[in-house]
A and B are shown apart, each in its own frame.
Chain A
Amino acid sequence: MSLDPTLDALPARAEGFWNSRGMRRFRRHKLAVFGAVTIILMTLACVFGPMLLPYSDTFIDIRQRFAPPFSGPHILGTDPLGRDILARLLMAGRISLAVGFCAMVLAMGIGIAVGVAAGYYQGVIGAALMRFVDAMLCFPTIFLLLAISALIQPSVPSIVMLIAMTSWMEVARVVEAQIRSLRTREFAQAAVAMGSSNIRIMVRELLPNAIAPIVVAATLNVAHAILAESYISFLGYGIQPPTPSWGNMLENAQSYLTSAPWLAIIPGAAITLAVTSFNFVGDGLRDALDPRMDLP
C-alpha cells in the first residue's frame, strides 16, 4: 500500500495498462473520490430530501402497513406502523450523520489536547496520560459504551458525548507520536530558543505540522462514530424512538426478518455505504498526505 518506489520496482510481473503505476494511483484515488461523492450526496439527500417527499417520517399510512419496496406510492416500502421508510431513512440519516460528525469533533478535541500535552511534556505527565490512554483502550468499545449508557439518560447530546468519550484514545496516540518527534526538530528548538511560551509552541508551531495524520484520523473517526451509534442504537441504548436513527431503525427488524426483510436490509445498507465511504476517503487521504504511514 505504500508508494515506495523500491517496492514498486521489484515484483513487476504482470505489467500492463491495468497495472501501470498511473492506473494504480488512479484506482486508489478513484475509491476516495467515490467515497467523497457518496458522502456529499448522502448529506444533501438527508438535508433536503425530506422536504421533497410526499410523506413525512411520522405520517402513519394505516392501510399500507408492511408495504414492500417498489410496490406502490411508498418507494422503499413502509414499516410495521405504516410509516414511509424512505422518509424515515433520510431523517435517520440526519441524526446518524450529525451524531457521527459531532462525536468526531469532540473526540478530536479531547484526543488532540491529551496527545499534544503528552507529547510535549514527556516524563511523568506524558507517561501518566499515555498509560491512561492504554488503560482506556483495554475496555472493549461496545462493553464500555453500554456500561456507561446504562448509567445516563439517553439523548442525542449524551450519546454524542458517550461516543466521543470512548473513541478519543486512538487520536491521542497518533498525535502524541507526532508531537514527540516534531518536538526534537530544529524549528521547535528554535522556537524554544526564541523564548516562545509552551502554549505558543504547542499550538502555533507543533500542531500545524501534525495536521496531516490528524485529518486522516478525523475522517476515520467519523466512520467509527457512525458505526458506534448504530451498534448501541440497535441494542436499544442509543438514540431512542421516536427520533429515528439508522441503528434504531434496525432495532426491531430481526423479528420481521421472515415477513418484511427490507426493514433490516435498507437501513443496514445505508450504514454500510456511509461507513465505507468515510473509510475510503480516510484511506485515500492517508496515501495522499503521508505515504510513509503504515496500515491502520
Chain B
Amino acid sequence: MSGFLLQRLMQAILLLLIVSMIGFAILHLAPGGPLSQFAAGGEMNQEDLDRIIEQLGLNRPLPVQYAEWLWRMLSGDWGLSYRDQQPVLHIIAGHLGPTLELMLSSTLLAMLIGAWIGIIGAVKRYSLFDSIATIGTMIALSIPTFWFGLVVIYVFSVGLGWLPSGNRFTIGDGSFLNRLHHLVGPCIVLALVSTAVWSRYMRSSMLDVINQDFVRTARAKGVPERQILMKHVLRNALLPMITITGLHVPSLLSGALVTETVFTWPGMGRLFLDSISYRDYPVVMGILMFTAVMVLLGSLLADLLYGVADPRIARSGR
C-alpha cells in the first residue's frame, strides 16, 4: 500500500511541476507579460518601465524567474489583485465556498439519478427504458450547459415562477430554506452532464460485473435475484465509479463556471470571468492554477480511495 501511495504521490508532484511551468509560460505570453498592469495605463515612459523591470527582476534569465515565481507560489504568496490590491489566495478562498456547495450538491444529485438510470439500464438491457436512457444521455452530453440553464430559468422561473432566477439567496433573508431554494436551479443544471456520465459508466460497470463467475455462482446457489443485484453486483460495480468521479472534476469545474454565470452565483467561476474582463491577470492566473491543483487532487484522491476500497489494486501496484 505504501509503495502504491508513494508512487502516486510522486506522479502528482511531477505533474504539478509541469502544470506550474505551463502556467508560468501563459503568464509570460500576456501582452506586456507581468508588466501588463503598467503598460496598459500608457502614462509610463520607457525609463520608468526599465526601472520596474530592474526592480521586479524581469531582466534575469527565465529559469531564475521561474524558480522564484514557483517558490512564491509554494509559500502562499500568489500576488495581489490589480483591482483591489487584495492577496489572490485570499480572494479565491472567499469565492470557493459557493462553488464547492454547487459542485458537491450537483454531484450528489447526479450520483443518485445517474446510478439509478445506469442500474435499470443494465438490468433491463435493450429494453425501451434502456434505449431511451442511452439516447437521453447522449443528448444530455451534447446540450450546452448555459443553454440548458437558460431553458431552466425560462421554464421554472419565468414561466412557472417556482424557482428564483439567480443569486445565492434573497438579500435580507439568507435562511437555510431560502438558500436551498436558490440552489435547486443551478444544481439541476450542473448535474445534467454528470448524471449522463454517471449513468453511462454505471451501466457498463454493472454489465462488466453481471457477467463474472461469482455472480453466476450466486445464481446457481439460488440466491434471490434482488439480493444478487444489491449485494454482489452493485457493490462491485460502484468501485470503478470512484475513479470516474475523480476524473470528472475538470468538466465539473468548467460546468460550474458556466452555471455560475447564468445564475449569477457568486463563486470562483464568476470571479474568474470578472477578473478576465478587468484584465486582472494575477487573479486569472491564480484561479487557473488553483483549478489545476483541484483536478490533480481529485484524481489523486480517487486513486487513493480506490486503493482503500479495493486492496487488490493497491497491492498489484497497477
Contact = CB atoms under 8 A, between A and B. Distances in A.
Contacts of A234: 144, 146, 258
Contact of A150 (B128, B210, B257, B284): B284
Contact of B19 (A10, A138, A142, A235): A138
A145 to B, nearest CB: 9
Contacts of B204: 1, 294-295
Interface string B290-318: 01100110000000000000000000000
B147 A146 contact: no
A139 B127 contact: no
A143 B273 CA distance: 9
Given A135-B18, A268-B147, A151 B126 contact: no
B126 A139 contact: no
Contacts of A280: 138
B146 A250 contact: yes
A10 B142 CA distance: 32
Interface residues of B, number: 61
Interface in B250-303: 250-251, 253-254, 257-258, 261-262, 272-273, 276-277, 279, 284-285, 287-288, 291-292, 295-296
B62 interface: no
A147 B26 contact: yes
A32 B250 CA distance: 28
Given A139-B250, A151-B26, A279-B141, A131 B15 contact: yes
A257 B262 CA distance: 12
Given A143-B287, A144-B288, A279 B26 contact: no
A135 B144 contact: no
Interface in B135-158: 135, 138-139, 141-147, 150-151, 153-154, 158
A272 B142 contact: yes
A264 B154 CA distance: 10
A231 B144 contact: yes
Contacts of B141: 279
A268 B26 contact: no
A250 B211 CA distance: 47
A27 B291 contact: no
A10 B211 contact: yes
Nearest to B127: A14
A31 to B, nearest CB: 7
A112 interface: no
A148 B281 CA distance: 11
A271 interface: yes
A11 B210 contact: yes
A104 to B, nearest CB: 16
A11 B125 contact: yes
A150 B30 CA distance: 8
A135 B139 CA distance: 29
Interface in A1-45: 1, 6-7, 10-11, 13-14, 18-19, 24, 27, 31
A31 B253 contact: no
A230 B254 CA distance: 13
A177 interface: no
B29 interface: yes
A187 interface: no
Interface string A135-159: 1111111111011101100000000
Interface in A241-296: 247, 250, 253-254, 257-258, 261, 264-265, 268, 271-272, 275-276, 279-280, 283, 294-296
Contacts of B86: none
B200 interface: yes
A246 to B, nearest CB: 9
30 contacts: A1-B203, A1-B204, A7-B207, A14-B127, A31-B138, A131-B18, A132-B18, A135-B18, A135-B21, A137-B295, A140-B253, A141-B251, A143-B272, A144-B288, A146-B257, A146-B273, A147-B26, A147-B285, A150-B284, A230-B144, A231-B145, A250-B146, A254-B153, A258-B158, A261-B154, A261-B158, A272-B147, A275-B143, A279-B138, A279-B141
Given A142-B258, A295-B204, 7 more contacts: A19-B126, A141-B250, A257-B153, A268-B151, A271-B147, A279-B142, A294-B204
Interface of A: 1, 6-7, 10-11, 13-14, 18-19, 24, 27, 31, 131-132, 134-144, 146-148, 150-151, 223, 227, 230-231, 234-237, 247, 250, 253-254, 257-258, 261, 264-265, 268, 271-272, 275-276, 279-280, 283, 294-296
